C-alpha cells in the first residue's frame, strides 16, 4: 500500500467512522487522529549522532530508542527555525515537525553535512503516524500490543508499531507504523475510538502547553520564549551547537523576559499563527504561537507574551480580549541540565 492508498483508505474509513468536529462531548471520549500533517525526517549514517549534536539544543545522545524529547533548531542568532520531537527508531534518528517545514529544514541540514557520513531522508509518507487520546487509550493499546508506555515521552517498540506516550490532560499516545500494518491497527482502534481531524489534535497540543514553530513564526523566538527549557528541550551542558551562545546567555543571565502562555479568545474568527498580541496602549507585546477551535466555542491559543505586560494590562488579539489560563506546568525553570 502506497501513501496515496493510505489516504484513500482513510477516506473510505470515514464513510463508516466519520470524523467528529470539536465539541464539548468529545472531551471525555477516546479519540483517534491521523497525523499525516506532521513531517518526519530520518537521519542515519556513521556520523549522524555527532552531526545532529552540533545542530540542536538538546542532547541527542540521550535518544536511546526508549525515550523521546523536544529539541530546538536555531539560526546563529539563537532564533528558532524549527521545533522537533526527536527520537531514535530502529537505530536511526528521527525529527518530527510540521510537514510544511520538512523540505526547507532538509535543505538547511544538508548544507552542514559537508563530508560527514550522514544521510537525511524525508520519511513523512512511509512511516504512518496517528494519535490516540482519552481515558480508554491505554486499554485499547493494551489489547493490541504486548507493551504500552507508562510515562511521558517513553517509547516502546513492538512487533507491528512503535508507541510514544505524550503529555496531556488524559492519556495520549502517538502510534508509528508502516503502511502494511496501519490499516489493521486503525480499523481495530476505530471500533471504540472516535476519529477526529487534525484540528482536534492541535487543540490537545495547546492544552498540553506544547509550542510549535511554523513558517509564519520561523526566526521569531529564542527557545526560552517558547518554554523549551521548561519542557526539557534544552541541555545546557551538552556543548556547542548553532545559536548556543545566545541560548546559554539568556539562561545564565536570567534574561528570559518573554514566555508562552495558554489563553482563550472568545472571537468568531480564528487568530492566525503569528498574529500580534497588543496591550491597552495598542503596543505589540507578543505573538500567537498555536491556535485551534475550542470545544465550547471561541479559540484556545498558545501566545508568547512579554512578562511585564501580564500584571495589570488588558491584552487583546485582533481587538478581542485574551483570557489567560493556567498551563499544565510551572513557568519557572528548575534545572540547568
Question: What does the domain layout of the chain look like in residue ranges?
Answer: 3-207, 257-337
The distance of Cα 308 from the centroid of its chain, to the nearest Å, equals 27
Q: How confident is the model at residue 1 (pLDDT cuts 50, 70, 90)?
A: low
Give the pLDDT score at 317.
97
Q: How confident is the model at residue 14 (pLDDT cuts 50, 70, 90)?
A: confident
| Residue range 95-136, pLDDT digits in tens | 999 999 999 999 999 999 988 899 999 999 999 999 999 999
Contact 197, 33 (CB under 8 A): yes
Contact 130, 166 (CB under 8 A): no
| Closest-CA residue to 79 (of 211, 218, 214, 216) | 218
| 223 vs 311, residue with greater confidence | 223
Please check the confidence at residue 312 and state whether its pLDDT lies above 70.
no
The distance of Cα 232 from the centroid of its chain, to the nearest Å, equals 13
Secondary-structure breakdown of the chain: helix, strand, coil percentages, each rounded to the nearest 5: 25, 30, 45
Please check the confidence at residue 25 and state whether its pLDDT lies above 90.
no
Which CATH number is associated with domain 3-207?
3.30.1360.120
| Residue range 190-249, pLDDT digits in tens | 999 999 999 999 999 999 999 999 999 999 999 999 999 999 999 999 989 999 999 999
Give the pLDDT score at 329.
96
b/e map 79-117, b = 16+ CB within 10 Å? bbbbbbbbbbbeebbbbbbbbebbeebbebbeeebeeee
**The whole model's pTM is what?**
0.95
Which CATH number is associated with domain 257-337?
2.40.30.160
| Closest-CA residue to 246 (of 72, 37, 76, 32) | 76
| Residue range 71-100, pLDDT digits in tens | 999 999 999 999 999 999 989 999 999 999
Give the pLDDT score at 337.
38
How far apart are alpha carbons 43 and 113 in whole angstroms? Answer: 11
Cell 526539557 locates to 232
How far apart are alpha carbons 56 and 172 in whole angstroms? Answer: 26
Strand residues in 61-218 grouped as ranges (E): 68-74, 80-89, 92-98, 119-122, 127-133, 155-157, 161-166, 172-178, 194-196
The alpha carbons of the chain give a radius of gyration, in whole angstroms, of 20
Please enumerate in sequence order all residues whose Cβ is within 8 A of that of 193, keeping only pairs 6 or more positions apart, or say none: 29, 30, 31, 32, 132, 134, 136, 137, 140
Q: DSSP string covering 133-148, please?
A: ESTTHHHHHHHH-S--
Give the pLDDT score at 252.
84
Contact 132, 144 (CB under 8 A): no
Please check the confidence at residue 256 and state whether its pLDDT lies above 90.
no
| Residue range 168-185, pLDDT digits in tens | 999 999 999 999 999 999
Give the pLDDT score at 2.
65
Mean pLDDT, residues 3-14: 88
Distance spanning both ends of the chain, measured CA to CA? 44
Angle between helices 3-16 and 182-189 (to 10 degrees): 20
Give the pLDDT score at 16.
85
| Residue range 31-70, pLDDT digits in tens | 999 999 999 999 999 999 999 999 999 999 999 999 999 9
How far apart are alpha carbons 119 and 47 in whole angstroms? Answer: 9
Q: How confident is the model at residue 334 (pLDDT cuts 50, 70, 90)?
A: very low
Please check the confidence at residue 297 and state whether its pLDDT lies above 90.
yes
Q: In the chain, which ranges are continuous DSSP H helix?
A: 3-16, 48-53, 102-111, 137-144, 182-189, 198-207, 244-252
Q: How confident is the model at residue 335 (pLDDT cuts 50, 70, 90)?
A: very low
Please check the confidence at residue 254 and state whether its pLDDT lies above 90.
no
| 30 vs 332, residue with greater confidence | 30
Give the pLDDT score at 27.
92
State residue 155 phi and psi, 5-degree precision: -120, 130
Q: How confident is the model at residue 333 (pLDDT cuts 50, 70, 90)?
A: low
Amino acid at each position: 500500500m502506497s501513501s496515496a492508498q493510505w489516504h484513500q483508505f482513510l477516506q473510505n474509513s470515514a464513510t463508516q467512522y466519520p470524523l467528529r468536529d470539536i465539541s464539548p462531548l468529545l472531551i471525555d471520549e477516546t479519540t483517534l487522529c491521523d497525523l499525516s500533517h506532521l513531517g518526519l525526517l530520518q537521519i542515519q549514517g556513521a556520523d549522524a549522532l555527532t552531526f545532529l549534536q552540533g545542530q540542536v539544543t538538546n542532547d541527542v545522545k540521550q535518544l536511546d530508542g526508549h525515550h523521546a524529547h523536544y529539541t530546538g533548531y536555531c539560526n546563529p542568532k539563537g532564533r528558532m527555525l524549527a521545533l522537533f520531537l526527536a527520537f531514535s527508531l530502529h537505530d536511526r534518528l528521527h525529527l518530527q515537525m510540521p510537514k510544511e517545514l520538512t523540505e526547507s529544514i532538509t535543505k538547511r541540514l544538508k548544507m552542514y553535512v559537508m563530508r560527514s557520513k550522514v544521510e537525511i531522508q524525508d520519511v513523512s509518507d512511509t512511516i504512518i503516524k496517528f494519535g490516540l487520546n482519552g481515558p480508554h487509550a491505554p486499554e485499547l493499546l493494551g489489547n493490541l500490543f504486548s507493551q504500552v508506555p507508562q510515562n511521558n515521552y517513553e517509547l516502546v517498540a513492538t512487533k507491528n508499531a512503535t508507541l510514544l506516550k505524550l503529555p496531556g490532560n488524559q492519556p495520549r499516545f502517538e502510534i508509528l507504523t508502516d503502511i502494511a500494518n496501519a490499516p489493521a491497527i486503525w480499523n481495530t482502534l476505530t471500533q471504540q475510538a472516535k476519529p477526529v481531524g487534525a484540528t482536534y489534535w492541535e487543540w490537545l497540543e495547546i492544552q498540553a502547553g506544547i509550542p510549535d514553530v511554523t513558517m509564519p513564526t520561523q526566526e521569531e523566538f529564542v527557545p526560552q520564549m517558547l518554554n523549551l527549557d521548561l519542557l526539557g528541550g534544552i541541555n545546557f551542558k551538552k556543548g556547542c551547537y548553532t545559536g548556543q551562545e545566545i541560548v546559554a546567555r539568556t539562561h545564565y543571565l536570567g534574561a528570559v523576559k518573554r514566555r508562552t502562555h495558554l489563553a482563550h479568545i472568545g472571537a468568531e474568527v480564528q487568530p492566525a499563527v503569528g498574529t500580534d498580541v497588543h496591550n491597552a496602549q495598542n503596543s505589540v507585546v507578543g505573538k500567537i504561537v498555536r491556535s485551534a477551535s475550542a470545544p465550547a466555542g471561541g479559540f484556545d491559543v498558545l501566545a508568547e507574551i512579554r512578562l511585564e505586560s501580564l500584571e495589570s494590562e488588558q491584552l487583546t488579539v485582533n481587538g478581542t480580549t485574551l483570557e489567560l489560563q493556567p498551563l499544565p506546568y510551572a513557568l519557572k525553570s528548575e534545572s540547568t541540565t
